[in-house]
Amino acid sequence: MARLALVTGGVSGIGAAISKLLKASGYRVVANYFGNEADAQAFHAETEIPVRTFDVADFEATQTGIAAIVAEFGPVEVLVNNAGITRDSSLHKMTLEQWRSVIEVDLGGCFNTCRAVIESMREHRFGRIVNISSINGLSGQFGQTNYSAAKAGVIGFTKALALEGASRGITVNAIAPGYTGTTMVKAVPQAILDEIVADVPVGRLATPEEIARGVLFLVGEEAGFITGETLSINGGRYMH
């Protein structure tokens, strides 16, 4: 039977591109979402990919949600942690809620989902985990101390879990996308968008599909010797 992949935040933007590419490549896919019901139903109608709602920032809800997926579809063998939010503000104006909400979703969500699948992956001696970080977790970004901290934390989390899983056939890697042509990014005022693109050496935004192809490579059977790495897909905007 084809391997089961769970993609969090998997019904729109980069997550939708990942879900679609994994399905097209032969994986069984379940896409998680939270809050965006209209997007989820439109995505399901278009792709026939099952969609399931739970808040990755909520530990108990995530354990329950993933347990239900396992009961219905079987063990999760591929996990893509794509769910994320932004609550931008310079630090001297940032509220505690803005800080905590981003940390809990973008970083805490990785713990919550991985905790729900790691024992099964260890038992079956196979797993592929890809955590979506960000260029801003590497370079920092004005007005994003919360987001940059969370996404940098994702990279540290990835490295540590990679060490823990290596002897059990589990690889854990991160992808740090640059600015990508999602609906959210395209909604930025054109003048600011032009400035962003001007800083990208290849002269354009990434497409969601280009990020998805990085995920597809890392979750493949043939990528078993790559673990603990961060793949930057940013058009040369930041090299580390």
Cβ atoms of residues 181 and 92 within 8 Å: no
**Of 27, 147, 179, 238, catalytic:** 147
Contacts of residue 34, defined as CB under 8 A and 6 or more positions apart, other chains included, come to: 9, 53, 54, 55, 56, 83
Strands (E), 8-158: 28-33, 51-53, 78-81, 127-132
Helix 13-24 / helix 37-47 crossing angle, nearest 10 deg: 20
Cβ atoms of residues 16 and 184 within 8 Å: no
Contacts of residue 4, defined as CB under 8 A and 6 or more positions apart, other chains included, come to: 27, 28, 29, 30, 73, 74, 75, 76, 77, 78
The DSSP symbol for 167 reads G
Judge whether 33 counts as a catalytic residue: no
Helix 108-124 / helix 59-73 crossing angle, nearest 10 deg: 40
Residues recognised as catalytic: 147
